Structure 1
Amino acid sequence: MGKYTKEDIFRIVEEEDVAFIRLQFCDIFGVPKNIAIAASQLESALNNECIFDGISVEGYVRSGESDMYLYPDLDSFDIYPWRPQSGKVARMYCNVYTMDRKPFLGDPRNVLRRVVEKADRMGIRFKVNPEAEFFLFDYDDEGQPTTHTKERGGYFDVAPADQGENVRRDIILNLEEMGFDISSSHHEAAPAQHEIDFKAEDAQRTADMIMTFKMAVKTIAKKHGLYATFLPKPTEGISGSGMHINIIATDKEGRNLFSAGEKGALSEEARSFIAGVLAHVRGMTLVTNPLVNSYKRLVPGYDAPVNISWSSASSNRSALIRIPSNRGEGTRIEVRNPDATCNPYLAIALLLAAGLEGIEKKLTPPGELDENLNHATYEQLRERGLETLPMTLGEAIRAYEGDAFVKEVLGESIYEKFLEAKRAEWKDFRTCVTQWEIKRYLNLF
């Protein structure tokens, strides 16, 4: 049974003086989009009669079709606490349907829904929680964002070294008003870098929450005169920002399927899930790490995974997959390579689908990584016989093209349009002359 009925939505809108409702969705890259309607048009929206033109939305247009319907998810109704309290603004996430009232194959939310439904048929229910990192930078005198900060805080620092403490607190208070269960927050390793964690929720809701989280962080930071960015590597020479994704699997009675129940041992399902993710992680990297800049983070020596490996030792943070120390009913699998610029619906869908394939086929993972290789070079990793993640967006494109599983999960529409866009992005970057090249070569040649 759902959280809200149509009658509940009408009542809340009237009682809370909601003036506008945003019907929200996203393009294939996870960029949020919305249609804003006045409260007077709510009935039409709740009857799934809101039409929009998909011609300008990345990845949405199919041949001969541009008009599409938005079907609001009633349970996603929330009021934005940071907007005016007189004439409030609310939002609902929407599924996208075609004019013949069928789920649109290019809708990222639909991709994740299909994977969750498959898991349900297998008797598995997933909960997911992300660990999204971000930077708070200054604006310049013209109001444009920079990568500059006067802060010099480090891991777990407190004020006054942590100059973003008040911003984080404001973000958390706003998110809690929207139903987020915030577990912790802290200053991260690099100056001006922060992390706010919330507890695990069902996979679909978690993807929605990631979209809300990024919007809230950016909006509230701006109110404090700072620019929030989830760019993986905005500044060279320091650690970048990732979004580790923690996954818990339970049966329909709520028992943890990843736990063997004895002294923290992993179940066969956990091992097969890990094997499935590792088997496809290179092909998925274009989606989990979608920018040219993403690969500036995935390098040795900066606390980001490089080698394709796993470890049940919670202290080994050089492995791509690690098993945190909370075992038994708290056993979860942490995938450490994604960053927050990904489309959360597609990234989570691929990770879950890969793990499900591993369980279906009873795959066996490679041996555990038994030492910390955080500072190992690519040559040292190869000497150990370890495969590595793609080193560039171009390499990620080739891995994506070589994995038919990724196409099967995403569907041909999203797969092809994502590939087309990333090829164009890589081509643009390869023809760009950077400041590094000028500094390195101009005085020599």
Structure 2
Amino acid sequence: MAITKESILKILEKESIRFIYLQFTDLLGTLKAVSVPVTEIDNILNGKVMFDGSSVQGFVRIEESDMVLVPDLSTFAILPWKDSPKKVARLICFVHRPDNEPFEGDPRRILRRAEEEASKMGFTLNAGPEMEFFLFPDGNHNKHDLLLDDTASYFDLEPLDKGEDARQSIVVTLQDMGFNIEASHHEAAPHQHEIDFRYDRAIVSADNVMTLKTVVKVIATRFGLQATFMPKPILGINGSGMHVHLSLSDKEGRNVFYDPSDEHELSIIAKQFIAGIIKHIKGITLLLNPTVNSYKRLVPHHEAPVNIAWSFSNRSPLIRVPAGRQNGTRIELRSPDPSANPYLAFAAILTAGLDGIRKNLTPPPALVDNLYEMTEEERQRNGVGSLPADLGSAIAAFKEEPLNRKLLGDFAYSNFLKAKEMEWIEYRKQVHPWEIDRYFNV
């Protein structure tokens, strides 16, 4: 049932909601919100609530700071952890300028624009992220020396899995908000967890990623835990990824990645989409893996993809085609991590894939061998390239990729690039404990 202004008003009265959070995301993927009393409901629903955009990362200068929040009514939800008498609902918003023109630096608008381009070609992108994260004991006030008291591994249960109760409470909270949770489990590393929700349109899935991150952090604190979506918090164990399952559907809702006449039941369109991602992956990696820490995860031998290749079922390449077919036909892109702004990440993936379709690109042959066990010579012989090795390399590849400026627009492109270049410079100036241990006595 479609959510309307009238239905929202009825829910607010029935549930005695006192406040509404108007949420949006800055350019780097940090969730922001303005808390507005329901007494201002007319201004809320009619997109008349303003805020200072000059104080938000990647937005506007102080001399042009007024911005307007225009809610997407379909995102209305009650926040289950906010109890009476201060019950709170939320609406996710698009950001506009005071003249009601869409703000070109709004990440959600950038994804919506990419979806509109796909729609012109007759496609809708469906995305299903797998969100990995860590839950550490809250006694770890020194984040440089995290305590590991969890000996659980992949799919383990209590008593080895010390975060199971918290994870189940997170799942219940998400379900109360309308999420369709497909699975949750302990992941391979100590204190690491994964929650998978059902695929949906890209913009809905991006909204869900932002909501999930908030719910995980809020519920974790109630169990004496602290949550992190940092890609690689601990040396020597697996990092956290945001593997994304992707498919395209046509205007009738049919999965266009499925072709029963193909040997692997994978359509030409699917292969062209894969080819587009492979062609552009180096240039868009900065949007999928945007932090210095992202590249501590993208190293060999910890189940994260570092090589640019694709396969059927084999999990070692960048892209794999899982076993499901017919409506379940999809590809899995394994490089993104949860520090990414999901709106920009999904927009980049979609734009790259559509370019492959437009240009009738053909991917290289699918690989069967385990890439983790191949030598460098064998990878070169098979034409297997590598992802950028650090943030600096990703920035350089980003600047060389023409697709990015078209994808983001001049405003967002310049501000995102500036923020990442500053981050890389700041990191390079630091002296790390490893350097002291290694070089102090030279």
User: What's the TM-score once normalised by structure 1's chain length?
Assistant: 0.96
Q: Which residue in 1 is equivalent to 2:344?
A: 346
Q: What do the CA deviations read for 1:73-124 (whole angstroms, capped 9, x no partner)?
A: 1110000111113331110000000111111000000000011111112111
Q: Which residue in 2 is equivalent to 1:299?
A: 299
The answer to whether structure 1 residue 140 and structure 2 residue 135 are counterparts is: no
The alpha-carbon distance between structure 1 residues 75 and 259, as it changes in their structure 2 partners (threshold 3 A), is same
Rounded Cα–Cα distance in structure 1 between residues aligned with 2:382 and 2:119: 39
Displacement, 1:370?
2.2
Q: Write the letter of the residue equivalent to 1:288.
A: L
Displacement, 1:169?
0.4
8 Å contact from structure 1 (residues 300, 375) kept in 2: no
Displacement, 1:139?
2.3
SS in 2 for 1:11: helix
Which of the numbers 319, 327, 332 marks the counterpart of 1:329?
327
Q: Which residue in 2 is equivalent to 1:244?
A: 243
Q: Write the letter of the residue equivalent to 2:357.
A: I
The answer to whether structure 1 residue 30 and structure 2 residue 22 are counterparts is: no
8 Å contact from structure 2 (residues 140, 147) kept in 1: no
Q: What do the CA deviations read for 1:272-323 (whole angstroms, capped 9, x no partner)?
A: 0001111111111111001100001101111000111111x21x11110100
More displaced stretch, 376-385 vs 74-83: 376-385
The alpha-carbon distance between structure 1 residues 273 and 396, as it changes in their structure 2 partners (threshold 3 A), is same
8 Å contact from structure 2 (residues 54, 62) kept in 1: no
Rounded Cα–Cα distance in structure 1 between residues aligned with 2:23 and 2:275: 35
Q: CA RMSD in A?
A: 1.6
Rounded Cα–Cα distance in structure 2 between residues aligned with 1:30 and 1:18: 28
Rounded Cα–Cα distance in structure 1 between residues aligned with 2:59 and 2:97: 10
Give the percent of matched residue pairs that are identical in Structure 1 and Structure 2: 49
Q: Write the letter of the residue equivalent to 1:398.
A: A
Which of the numbers 364, 367, 370 marks the counterpart of 1:369?
367
Displacement, 1:141?
7.1
The alpha-carbon distance between structure 1 residues 64 and 141, as it changes in their structure 2 partners (threshold 3 A), is closer
SS in 1 for 2:172: helix
Q: Write the letter of the residue equivalent to 1:99.
A: P
Q: Which residue in 2 is equivalent to 1:119?
A: 118
Rounded Cα–Cα distance in structure 2 between residues aligned with 1:276 and 1:104: 28
Q: Which residue in 2 is equivalent to 1:51?
A: 50
Q: Write the letter of the residue equivalent to 1:405.
A: L
Displacement, 1:143?
8.8
Rounded Cα–Cα distance in structure 2 between residues aligned with 1:146 and 1:22: 35
Kindly tell me the number of residue pairs found equivalent between the two proteins: 441
Q: Which residue in 1 is equivalent to 2:3?
A: 4
Q: Which residue in 1 is equivalent to 2:38?
A: 39
Q: Which residue in 1 is equivalent to 2:175?
A: 176
The answer to whether structure 1 residue 280 and structure 2 residue 280 are counterparts is: yes
Pairs within 5 Å for 1:309-320: 309-311=309-311, 313-314=312-313, 316-320=314-318
The alpha-carbon distance between structure 1 residues 402 and 255, as it changes in their structure 2 partners (threshold 3 A), is same
Q: Write the letter of the residue equivalent to 1:3.
A: A
Rounded Cα–Cα distance in structure 2 between residues aligned with 1:354 and 1:261: 25
Q: Which residue in 2 is equivalent to 1:86?
A: 85
Q: Which residue in 1 is equivalent to 2:219?
A: 220
Rounded Cα–Cα distance in structure 2 between residues aligned with 1:61 and 1:378: 46
Q: Any gaps of 5 or more consecutive residues in structure 1?
A: none
Displacement, 1:361?
1.3
Q: Any gaps of 5 or more consecutive residues in structure 2?
A: none
Rounded Cα–Cα distance in structure 1 between residues aligned with 2:140 and 2:271: 53
Q: Which residue in 1 is equivalent to 2:423?
A: 425
Q: Write the letter of the residue equivalent to 1:138.
A: P
Rounded Cα–Cα distance in structure 2 between residues aligned with 1:81 and 1:428: 39
Rounded Cα–Cα distance in structure 2 between residues aligned with 1:261 and 1:194: 36
The answer to whether structure 1 residue 269 and structure 2 residue 269 are counterparts is: yes
The alpha-carbon distance between structure 1 residues 318 and 27, as it changes in their structure 2 partners (threshold 3 A), is same
The alpha-carbon distance between structure 1 residues 142 and 240, as it changes in their structure 2 partners (threshold 3 A), is closer
Q: Which residue in 2 is equivalent to 1:412?
A: 410
Q: Which residue in 1 is equivalent to 2:210?
A: 211
User: What's the TM-score once normalised by structure 2's chain length?
Assistant: 0.97
Rounded Cα–Cα distance in structure 1 between residues aligned with 2:46 and 2:377: 59
8 Å contact from structure 2 (residues 140, 146) kept in 1: no
Q: What do the CA deviations read for 1:356-406 (whole angstroms, capped 9, x no partner)?
A: 111111111112122111244656634543210000000000000000101
Q: What do the CA deviations read for 1:153-184 (whole angstroms, capped 9, x no partner)?
A: 00111110111110110000000000000000
SS in 2 for 1:374: helix
Rounded Cα–Cα distance in structure 1 between residues aligned with 2:412 and 2:340: 14
Q: What do the CA deviations read for 1:225-268 (whole angstroms, capped 9, x no partner)?
A: 10110111100001110000111211111211001124642101
The alpha-carbon distance between structure 1 residues 370 and 141, as it changes in their structure 2 partners (threshold 3 A), is closer
More displaced stretch, 120-129 vs 255-264: 255-264
Rounded Cα–Cα distance in structure 1 between residues aligned with 2:396 and 2:126: 31
Q: Give the ranges of 4+ consecutive aligned residues of structure 1 lying more than 4 Å apart after TM superposition.
A: 141-146, 375-380
Q: Which residue in 1 is equivalent to 2:191?
A: 192
Q: Which residue in 1 is equivalent to 2:18?
A: 19
SS in 2 for 1:191: coil
Q: What do the CA deviations read for 1:37-77 (whole angstroms, capped 9, x no partner)?
A: 00101111111111111001011105842101100011100
Rounded Cα–Cα distance in structure 2 between residues aligned with 1:92 and 1:371: 47
